[in-house]
């Protein structure tokens, strides 16, 4: 079973602060996340596999590759 990470635990794996990861969620530019229906507002969780996939998709060899 995969252990899902909250924003505070996921942020260091991405290399940013939790607040940045929260901002990226609203902009749709960070790794995929899971929104649960637990509680009044729900929880945001990250699958480590999604974090690794996002990092792989955003890996470049040169600044000229970035569009």
Query: Which pLDDT does position 67 carry in this prediction?
Result: 65
Q: What is the pLDDT of residue 9?
A: 98
Q: What is d(CA 36, CA 10) in angstroms, rounded to the nearest whole number? A: 16
61: which 2 tokens?
């060899």
Residue spans of the domains in the chain: they are 7-58
pLDDT at 66: 78
How many other C-beta atoms are found inside a 10 Å radius of the C-beta of residue 46?
A: 24
Using DSSP's 3-state secondary structure scheme, residue 64 falls into helix
Helices (H) and strands (E) in the chain, counts: 3, 2
**Which residues of the chain are under the pLDDT cut of 50?**
none
Q: What is the rounded (10 degree) CA torsion for 22, 30, 16, 4?
A: 80
């Amino acid at each position: 079973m995969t252990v899902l990470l909250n924003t505070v635990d996921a942020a260091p794996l991405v290399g940013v602060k939790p607040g940045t990861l929260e901002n990226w969620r609203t902009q749709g530019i960070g790794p995929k996340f899971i929104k649960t229906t637990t509680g009044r507002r729900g929880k945001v969780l990250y699958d480590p596999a999604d974090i690794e996939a996002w990092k792989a998709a955003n890996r470049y060899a040169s600044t000229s590759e970035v569009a």
